[in-house]
Amino acid sequence: MLVGITILLVFQLVGEVTAYFLGGFVPGPVIGMAMAAIVLTLTKGSAFLQPAHERTIDTSKAILANLGVLFVPAGVGIIQHLDLIRDRGFALMAIVLLSTVITLTVTVWVFILVKRLSGGYAND
């Protein structure tokens, strides 16, 4: 657990440093995510790094299995905007709902249609 969380934090740290030099438009943790995938792929099969790989995978699975709880603290921040929600809550909800439904629909159909056109379902 300690080895796994240390490896994840180091990737995040390297990601943050990279993000700083890139001007900050790509978030550090997202760079860390890409780096983790790349480094694990490049070092796959190394007997020396095998235990570190396994611990990183185990820790990641434990975190991802409880991903939802990590959004609760930020979400509770909604209590700072109760006045806006009281005055314009309906419009706010309508925008969020409409935009989310449209985005989900457009994204999933572009994915499916391009996959179909490029023969991605040929084996189904």
Partner 1 sequence: MTDGLWVYLATSPLLWLAGTLVVWLAATGLSGLAPGNPLLNPIMISIAAIATVLCVTGIDYATYFEGAQFIHFLLGPATVALGIPLFEKLSLVKSNLVPMLSALVVGSFTAVGSTVFFSDLFGFSPEVVASMAPKSTTAAVAMAISSGLQGDPALTAAVVVLTGICGAIVVTPMMNAMRIKDFSARGFAVGLASHGIGTARAYSVDPVAGLFSGIAMGLNAVLTSLIVHLFL
Interactions with partner 1, residue window 17-76 (CB under 8 A): 24-30, 32-37, 40-41, 44, 56-57, 59-61, 63-65, 67-76
> Which amino acid is located at 100 in the chain?
T
Min separation Cβ 67 and partner 1, Å: 4
How many other C-beta atoms are found inside a 10 Å radius of the C-beta of residue 7? 19
Q: How far apart are CA 56 and CA 46, in angstroms?
A: 15
Query: Which member of 5, 18, 49, 52 binds partner 1 (CB under 8 A)?
Result: 5
Distance of CA 14 to the CA centre of its chain: 17
Cβ distance to partner 1 smaller for residue 29 or 51? 29
Min separation Cβ 30 and partner 1, Å: 5
Residues in binding contact with partner 1, number by CB under 8 A: 74
Work out whether 9 is an interface residue with partner 1 (CB under 8 A): yes
Min separation Cβ 2 and partner 1, Å: 13
- Residues 78-97 touching partner 1, rule: CB under 8 A, are 78-82, 84, 88, 91-97
Cβ distance to partner 1 smaller for residue 48 or 75? 75
**Tokens, residue 17:** 């440093």
The sign of the CA dihedral 82, 88, 90, 91 is negative
Q: Phi/psi of residue 11, each to 5°?
A: -60, -40
Q: How far apart are CA 63 and CA 16, in angstroms?
A: 20
